[in-house]
Structure 1
Amino acid sequence: MTHDKNLAKDPSTYAAGFPAPDPEPVFSYHPVLIDVPQRPVPLAVRVTAPVNGTDLPVIVLSHGHGPSTFVPSFYGYGPLVNFWAAHGFAVIQPTHLDATFLGLREADDPDAPLYLKWRADDLSRVVDHLGEIERAVPGLAGRLDSSRIAAVGHSAGGQTVGLISGETFIRDGATIGAVDDRFGARVMIAAPGRGEDMNGPAAEPYAELTTTSFDRMTPKVLVVTGEKDYNPFFSDRQDWRRDPYTAAPGPKVLLEFFEAEHGLGGISTFDAAETTDENPDRVAAVRALIWAYLRSELYPGDPAWTNATAVLAGSAAPVARVESK
């Protein structure tokens, strides 16, 4: 069999010079529907996984709340999903209740428009039903490693990962958010910051975000930010989205990408008009570095993160910086 050398530069799978194995073929299957009591619609998930291999670690990926019709759902985030699946992970994407095409953002529901509690419950439900999901996908039964599960999310999805990691918000006097110990690694990408500093116009439609606290977010988390991810619609603090790192107790790791804005170069979909800083090389670096972090967190002793950060530190023009506490 001959191989096209250009496949090594496939923009959906290349790693921007960071160490990673050769990509493998992947497949995607959807929807898998999970009936959840009192949820307005079944929890629909998409599974993308390597065609071959066993004992596959799992990433549960939480989408953002963006303005597009299909990106904020299991149809989005192909630049991340394709790469992670091609490099050995089974990626499970729930469609949260705030997905635009579901039409529930304007519902007369105290959870609307963000459905924060339902979002966090969705991540835990995926783990609850992991065996069911595995059996529903042709060719996947018996191939997942249920002891190695990571949670990753972007924007509102980052908030969602925070909520299963001890981050909290207040609703009707009740504190919502707790640690789900079944997740062995956690990554919050471009997540909202502290509620007390959310002083922009977004405070009115997203009132629950104004109560966000990181005081109880004790597990180790990789916090991924863009150096220029600043939007006065949310806060007048230019470093507000760094709060999941700075305002939470350790251990935490910060991965901040220079010049990057909220879309980190375009992680939410290919050629997205909503991406303000379109940069395929940045996207490749984001996903490769997160992949390396997850490998080392889920497989103690795996040098992937050490190797990747060594490449970053040794670069004449580094694309990001790493800080830990």
Structure 2
Amino acid sequence: MSFSPVVLPVPGRPVDLQVRVSAPATGTDLAVILLSHGQGPSNNLSSLNGYAPLVNSWAAQGFVVIQPTHLTSRTLTHLVADAPGAPFFWRSRSEDMSHILDRLDMIEKAVPLLSGRIDHAKVAVAGHSFGGFTAGLLLGAQVTDPDEGGEVSLLEPRIKAGVLLAAPGRGDVLNGPMGDALPVFRTIDFSTMTTPALVVAGEKDDSRHFTDMGPDWHADPYTLAPGPKTLLTLFGAEHGLGGIAGYDAAETTDENPERVAALARLTAAYLRTGLHPGDPAWQAAREALTAGPDPIGRVESK
């Protein structure tokens, strides 16, 4: 079931925080995945209305998925264009997730048939592209505020595991036009990202608008962070990872429903084991990945 929008008043935020909540129709003690959207060229997928291919699968596999509309969404541009932090709101994006966790009780009561079914101690974060940067900050990565100076930590201790999907990498190799537009990306420090995480990188995700480092750039959150970390490299995948942002999305340059379905299964298995230590889901998923004649990717861990 999916319920939208749940409207959460947040003092000081230019507009109320709106979220979509998707959950299985049955079950209790359900773990939570907070999903941070990317940007992309579409007007509406970068909001609570996007990422249905992943969200539907995660909910069907027993998770409560909560999707905020960050202030960066094009659906809000006309309302927040002059707000502090515009246009990228890098700090606000992470703070949205803490606001959601502060209001989990409110969300449970607002969504029909959900009350009493969430395990508040089992929370993960996932994010795609810019959302991967947001997730990285919540998992412990630090940045320097480009306007005020000084180290910024937005670590959220209530989050126990994460998934970074096509997230940006190190900042000292930025030589594309977006490097100047997003100076905070130049200061990312993964050495403090200690929360367990699965980093997903597309084998052909070459983000030249940021760097000419090539697809390896998106593996940096694995390479440069301390363990425990796992890297899933998807063969043939570009930045859309097969089409996770939306069904038939115009920005998906590598549409591959089978890849999306496999990614949804693998990420759910990783988070299930991460939030329930001893659960064999991730081990079984890794074995299944390499058992067939034509694997969709490879996994390495540290």
TM norm structure 1: 0.89
Task: List per-residue Cα deviations over 1:183-219 (Å, max 9, x = no partner).
Answer: 1211111111111111111112112212122121112
What is the aligned partner in structure 1 of residue 183 from structure 2?
A: 207
8 Å contact from structure 2 (residues 42, 250) kept in 1:
no
Measured in 1, the distance between the counterparts of 2:78 and 2:34 equals 22
SS of structure 1 residue aligned to 2:222: helix
* Paired residue type of 2:255: E
What stretches of structure 2 of length at least 5 have no aligned partner? none
SS of structure 1 residue aligned to 2:231: strand
What stretches of structure 1 of length at least 5 have no aligned partner? 1-26
What is the aligned partner in structure 2 of residue 297 from structure 1?
A: 274
What is the aligned partner in structure 1 of residue 16 from structure 2?
A: 42
Matches within 5 A, 1:257-268: 257-268=234-245
* Paired residue type of 1:187: V
8 Å contact from structure 1 (residues 98, 105) kept in 2:
no
Moved over 3 A (4+): none
Measured in 1, the distance between the counterparts of 2:243 and 2:29 equals 30
Matches within 5 A, 1:100-119: 100-103=74-77, 107-119=81-93
Choose which of 193, 200, 203 in structure 2 pairs with 1:227: 203
Matches within 5 A, 1:34-113: 34-103=8-77, 107-113=81-87
Matches within 5 A, 1:1-325: 27-103=1-77, 107-171=81-145, 172-238=148-214, 239-325=216-302
Q: C-alpha displacement at 1:107, in angstroms?
A: 2.2
* Paired residue type of 2:102: D
Measured in 1, the distance between the counterparts of 2:81 and 2:230 equals 37
* Paired residue type of 2:164: M
8 Å contact from structure 1 (residues 105, 114) kept in 2:
no
* Paired residue type of 2:67: Q
Task: List per-residue Cα deviations over 1:138-178 (Å, max 9, x = no partner).
Answer: 11111111111111111111111101111122112122233
8 Å contact from structure 2 (residues 289, 295) kept in 1:
yes
8 Å contact from structure 2 (residues 144, 188) kept in 1:
yes
8 Å contact from structure 1 (residues 152, 186) kept in 2:
yes
> Identity across aligned pairs (percent)?
53
Task: List per-residue Cα deviations over 1:114-155 (Å, max 9, x = no partner).
Answer: 211001001111111101111111111111111111111111
* Paired residue type of 2:157: D
Q: C-alpha displacement at 1:272, in angstroms?
A: 0.4
